[in-house]
Amino acid sequence: MHLTDLWKPGRRPSLSFELFPARTPAGRDKLFGTIDELGGLAPDFVSVTFGAGGSTRDGSRELVQWLKQEKRHEVLAYFAGYGLPPSDVSAVLDAYRDLGVENVLAVRGDEPRDAPDFEPHPDSFAYASDLVAFVRPRYPFCLGVAGYPEKHVQAVSRDSDLEVLKRKLDLGAEFVISNYFYDNRYFVEFRELCRARGISVPIVAGIMPIYSIKLTASLAAMCGATIPDSVRAALASLPEGDKDAISAYGVELALEQCRGLLREGVAGLHLYTMDRSASAKVIVSRLRDEGLL
């Protein structure tokens, strides 16, 4: 199934979860438990990330295969092309196609942070738009790309970032999944600016519940997501080191965001799970109990 079928007029908003491959046997066992928990929520699809520089190439393929063939989930396979030669790009995408993958999220990817000696191949794709241009005429995948409500951290301006997004769509991408944000106004304005530029494809909102203060600060700095003063103040007011209180606040904040986005007619909600299930279970269950999802 092409994911664009989920967002036809009259359909309910989609629900999806992001997962990333485990790096250890213990992590693998934990991930499989998480997948069973999330699978009980009947997501429309799950996504599988692809590590910088191909660092999780085998793990990503194995997880995609297990999700599709054993768990029968619809899978959106991320592909990050940074640093890889076209031959490696083709090898990975050939493997996904042979597994029955129909949907791919094409992203540039980051430079590997844990491989200081990593050298990108001279023929690698410098930008996601280059990757989309390579993939589109060669594969039948339904292609998605990333969008940044607050602009990409390396973009010169929000306007230039929107032009980059439009270029990716003009080259054949068919939907957008957004980076996460903690103020819905960023997403609403982003969607309006996209529509004003003639971008009419579905735009799915990325939601990152707060799991811990340290993780939130680290990811926000890396991804360019603003942590509003009100959120910082709320976190500061919680008992120091109280993981349950922090998680509960994160759930309530994400719920408030999801309610607002659903009222705004968002195409779908994509929860960045960090390979955890507890927060997602509460968020989705509450939204369904309220008749919103």
User: If pLDDT is split at 50, 70 and 90, which confidence band does 287 have?
Assistant: very high
Reduced to 3 states (helix: H, G, I; strand: E, B; else coil), residue 177 is strand
Burial category of 29 from C-beta neighbours within 10 Å (exposed 0-12, middle 13-18, buried 19 and up): exposed
The CATH number given to whatever domain includes residue 284 is 3.20.20.220
Closest CA to 52 of 106, 136, 99, 114: 114
* Domain extent for 282: 3-289
Tell me the sheet residues that pair with 147.
178
Residue 172 has pLDDT above 70, yes or no: yes
212-256 pLDDT, tens digit each:
999 999 999 999 999 999 999 999 999 988 999 999 999 999 999
Give how many domains the chain has, as a whole number.
1
Asked if 242 and 253 touch (Cβ cutoff 8 Å), the reply is no
CA distances in angstroms from 49 to 57, 161, 273, listed in the order given: 10, 22, 12
52-94 pLDDT, tens digit each:
666 677 889 999 999 999 999 999 999 988 889 999 999 999 9
Amino acid code (one letter) for 179: N
Of the residues 18, 74, 150, 174, which is catalytic?
A: 18
CA distances in angstroms from 2 to 23, 174, 262, listed in the order given: 29, 10, 22
User: pTM of the predicted model, to two decimals?
Assistant: 0.95
Closest CA to 284 of 257, 255, 256: 255
18 assigned to active site: yes
